[in-house]
Amino acid sequence: LQENMPEDTEKIPLIRIKDNLPFQTKEVVVREFPLTLFLNGQELVTLLCSPNHLKYLALGFLVSEGLIASREDIKKVLVDETLGIVRVETHQKPNDSTDLVFKRFITSGCGRGAAFYSPVDVSGHSKVESKTEISFQQVIALMKEFQHASELYKTTHGVHSAALSDGDKFLIFRDDIGRHNAIDKIFGECLWSGISTDQSVIVTSGRMSSEILFKVAKRGVPILISKSAPTSLSVQTASDLGVTLIGFVRGSRFDVFANDWRITGTKEESATPGNS
């Protein structure tokens, strides 16, 4: 499947102006690929994505939206890379009322997952209870390696990366023009390949919104790490759903915004504030 994937970048002609002088040149830009997802024959959504791992993207999207929960739910997956179509058939239709399925997607709209944002709905989600811990050194080392790996994709400009880690090494590393897509690709692969995520760490290059938190919590991932910022709502969501939220990882420092009990050393070692 992966071998015939369309390229993720394209070299296109342009006019460059430099010091007031225009000249013709070429530049590599990232591809934006429309992927339309059909679930049991019904058109569900068109995702704008980087054209790699389309099957995993489709499955990850369905997982994140709660439309499938395990590989056993899946009857068939057909990917047409030329037309940009993925057709997924499930054994049981997640919802017989198309109206309800529709309603879901309307409510989530561009802010995918927005349906979950009321406090009522948060309480309906199960809390991540995993006892997995992570040390200072692991956080720093993971981000260092992550940024090194991301460098590979920097040539294309404007791609987000996400990775699944066991705390020490990366098991899956994905990139996409969309922050959400990169993470969905990981969860789609985990579902398909039977990789458990409930003792894992997700590292992301992007900002952490509440949507990302719901996505990660839904797969039982206990720790989320980014070099970027969280939003107010993502901190609240992480706190409510039991996810350890780590942001602003830069050099030898980082911030823990929620559930810091998973960071080894924050309690046991009685470090004095501010004397570093």
203-208-214 Cα angle (round to 5): 90
Using CB under 8 A as the binding rule, whether residue 228 contacts a second copy is answered as: yes
* Residues facing 48 on adjacent strands: 34
Residue 166 Cβ vs a second copy, minimum distance, rounded to whole Å: 21
Name the nearest CA neighbour of 179 among 217, 219, 139, 228. Answer: 228
Among 1, 43, 71, 78, binds a second copy (CB under 8 A): 43
Using CB under 8 A as the binding rule, whether residue 53 contacts a second copy is answered as: no
Torsion of CA 92, 97, 99, 101, to 10 degrees: -20
Catalytic residue of the set 22, 110, 232, 268: 110
Residue 71 Cβ vs a second copy, minimum distance, rounded to whole Å: 24
The CA distance from 145 to 134, in Å, is 16
Token digits for 23? 């000249």
Among 90, 125, 136, 240, binds a second copy (CB under 8 A): 136
Between 66 and 195, CB nearer to a second copy: 66
The CA distance from 38 to 67, in Å, is 12
Binding mask 56-75 for a second copy (x = CB under 8 A): --------------------
User: Between residue 177 and residue 206, which ones bind a second copy under the rule CB under 8 A?
Assistant: 177-178, 180
Catalytic-residue membership of 110: yes
Using CB under 8 A as the binding rule, whether residue 93 contacts a second copy is answered as: no
Using CB under 8 A as the binding rule, whether residue 5 contacts a second copy is answered as: no
E strand or H helix at 25: strand 21-30
Between 151 and 260, CB nearer to a second copy: 260
Using CB under 8 A as the binding rule, whether residue 231 contacts a second copy is answered as: yes
Site size toward a second copy (CB under 8 A) is 80
Torsion of CA 225, 243, 195, 150, to 10 degrees: -10
